[in-house]
Amino acid sequence: MQSERQYYISLGMLGCLFFIFGLVSWVNSILIPYFKVACELESGVQIYLVTFSFYIAYLVMTVPASFLLRRTGYKKGTMAGLWIMAAGALMFWPAAAARSYPLFLVALFIIGTALAILQSVANPFVTIIGPHESAAKRISAMGICNKFAGIIAPLLFAALVIRPEDEAVMSQVGSGLLSGAAKDAALDRMIMGVVPPYIGLAILLFIFGILFYRSPIKDINPDRDNRTSTGENDRKSVWSYPYLVLGVAALFAHLGSQQISVSTIIGYAQSMGMDLETAKIFPSFTLACILIGYLAGVVLIPKYLSQQKSLVICTVTGLVLSVLVLVLPEKASIWSLVLLGIPNSLIYAGIWPLAIRGLGKWTSLGSSLLVMALCGNAVLSLLYGAASDHLSLQASYWLLVPCFVYMVFYAVYGYKIEKW
């Protein structure tokens, strides 16, 4: 048993990890319109390769990450993940020097790979470190760190990278006033703005990796610490747990729909005639709503509201708001998209503990499957991009509706299915 001091130090260090997750993940919402101009992207599919490259790493690299963690232990694995992320951040330098969109995508994939390792550490740790019935409360606390970083990330990136002269270049490119060699030279200067903040990020990640490894946090063994006394740990494979498999699909739908609501909102606002300076604030509005939801979760769960009931309330509310995004006039529908942040906040915190409960020796693999569900961010964003090439941006949000319908099913019934 860890001491109370170790418990709070562990939560504090994990809070820093979740802050890093938010910082590097939610900046994608501003990278998308930035790369659209700087790398001269045209189609919706091209544009949303940013989120696809970043999050597809969860599908490809999570199982290898679980083997790495078994070999190195969770503390060494965390340090390795932070150093890999630092390497991905450093790769922005040669990518910017060449103004090469493929190199930027490779750098984002490397950062996503690091996050696959770190999420495989952080999520089971937060779930197992205390009582199961308050797991959603702890995840909500971690979510506050994550979404606070998400609120400041687009604003910080825009302040550090998009200088007044860059805004002028983006305006001139958009209006067709720049062309030929003058346009190329202006874009080459503009794209180099990403280099200093990402070098600074790499240095911070390297230092934090050392600090985490030298901290008094004890390694955990999820396969041992998540056992039950009911004999349910004798199942032959991880696929013998329907509530886990269905939970992976629910998490896929949740994360993909949340990513759509955040990463596309700048483009949606710009389609109404707003400039980037005005539109860039909308992801922060959405993430502020998510932060409000997390604060409510910390206060209400489990004292006033069980995590399962909160999941039902949030999924149903999300479904209603998704329909409103489609049917309201554009300038009203964008606020329905912003308000989706409130129910989205507690869905992750509700699904994860319900899906991972009592897996025993299958906990590490089950956690890996749940982390792999983060590739929903990649797949659904790309589907939205493809839909936007053929439909209006507002009509493309129809993708949100089936996602929330399935989440309602899992919240009401799917989590209770113990046997196929």
Give me the CATH number covering residue 125: 1.20.1250.20
Lookup: tokens for 406: 């399935």
Most confident listed range (216-225, 232-241, 385-394): 385-394
The reported pLDDT for the residue numbered 270 is 85
Tally Cβ neighbours within 10 Å of residue 277.
Answer: 11
Percent of the chain with pLDDT over 90: 27
The reported pLDDT for the residue numbered 175 is 74
User: What sign does the dihedral 133-136-142-145 (CA atoms) show?
Assistant: negative
Residue 176 pLDDT more than 50? yes
pLDDT tens, residue by residue, 351-379: 988 898 888 777 777 878 888 888 888 88
Rounded to 10°, the helix 341-356/400-412 angle is: 40
Tally Cβ neighbours within 10 Å of residue 72.
Answer: 16
Residue 225 lies in a domain: no
Cis peptide before 302, with omega less than 30 degrees from 0? yes
Out of 89-93, 101-105, 228-232, 384-388, least confident range:
228-232
Q: Do 77 and 220 contact (CB within 8 A), yes or no? A: no
- 195 or 131: whose pLDDT is higher? 195
The reported pLDDT for the residue numbered 346 is 83
Residue 231 pLDDT more than 50? no
Residue 224 lies in a domain: no
Mean pLDDT of 317-328: 95
Residue 231 lies in a domain: no
Residue 412 lies in a domain: yes
Q: How does residue 303 score in pLDDT terms, banded at 50, 70 and 90?
A: confident
Mean pLDDT of 61-78: 80
Residue 160 lies in a domain: yes
Q: How many domains does the chain have?
A: 1
pLDDT tens, residue by residue, 111-164: 999 988 888 777 767 766 666 666 667 777 787 788 788 778 877 887 888 777
Residue 75 lies in a domain: yes
Most confident listed range (38-42, 127-131, 276-280, 362-366): 38-42
Residue 255 lies in a domain: yes
- Residue 394: closest CA among 335, 338, 349, 330: 330
* Domain residue limits at 12: 4-218+239-416
Average predicted confidence (pLDDT) for the chain: 84
The reported pLDDT for the residue numbered 113 is 92
Residue 233 lies in a domain: no
